[in-house]
Each structure stands twice: as structure tokens, then as C-alpha cells.
Amino acid sequence: MSLGPDHEPSAWLRGMVADALRHAAHLAGLLGPDDVMVAPLTGRSTRSGSREDRCCDRCGTYVPEGPGFHLLVTQPTPWLLLCGGLCAACAALEVGA
Ligand SMILES: [Zn+2]
């Protein structure tokens, strides 16, 4: 689920993005003009494939391997790409489905 510029983020996502921007802002000066920093939406990285990696970033629900986990990608600034994951219920809340 890649959220484009026309997406109206939920209050939760706006808060997460604001926190991420606040934490990453000091690194922006280290980037070149075309560089993009990729960071976890929650600010904490997890080992790929771990149980924590399969937990919803919004509600914490564990989602086993399969189709119920939705990757979330948003780019609030040209230099920052934020990635996360949501359970089906939280993904529906975010996209208004
Ligand atoms: Zn959830």
C-alpha cells in the first residue's frame, strides 16, 4: 500500500510521520541532493521475518505469513521514505475502505 500525494492520512499516520520527521531531521543535512533515506515508520527496525516484523505498526496485532499483512510506504519529503506494516483492519482504516 503506497500512499500517494492525494491520500488524506489518518491522525495516527500524521502523528507517526511527524515523529519520524522530527527524529530524522538532523540526518537530512548528511544527504546529497538526490539521496533518499529509508526508515521504519515506527522508528525501530526489526529483523526481517521475525514475529515483531509481522506485527501491525498501529495496533500491534501479530499477522502470520499470508495475505493479511499490508506494507505501508509513504514519502512525506523527497529525502525520506517511511515503511511499515498494518493488519487488514488498520489498513482499511488508513485507506478508508
Ligand atoms: Zn492493526
Are 67 and 54 within 8 A, CB to CB?
no
Q: For the chain, what is the domain count? A: 1
d(CA 15, CA 69) in angstroms, rounded, equals 21
Position 38 scores a pLDDT of 95
CA distances from 69 to 30, 72, 92 (A): 33, 10, 11
Position 7 scores a pLDDT of 77
* Helix, strand, coil percentages, rounded to 5, for the chain: 30, 25, 45
Is residue 16 in a domain?
A: yes
The dihedral sign for the CA sequence 88, 89, 92, 97:
positive
Distance (Å) from CA 97 to ligand 1 centroid = 14
What residues form DSSP beta bridges with 71? Answer: 85
Position 46 scores a pLDDT of 85
Is residue 90 in a domain?
A: yes
Is residue 5 in a domain?
A: no
Is residue 46 in a domain?
A: yes
Distance (Å) from CA 8 to ligand 1 centroid = 18
Position 76 scores a pLDDT of 92
pLDDT digits (tens, 9 = 90+) for 22-32: 999 888 889 99
> Digits of tens for pLDDT over the chain (97 positions)?
777 767 788 999 999 999 999 999 888 889 999 999 999 999 888 888 889 999 999 999 999 998 899 999 999 999 999 999 999 999 999 887 5
Residue 91 domain boundaries:
11-95
Distance (Å) from CA 36 to ligand 1 centroid = 27
Is residue 6 in a domain?
A: no
Are 1 and 71 within 8 A, CB to CB?
yes
pTM score over 0.75: yes
Is residue 3 in a domain?
A: no
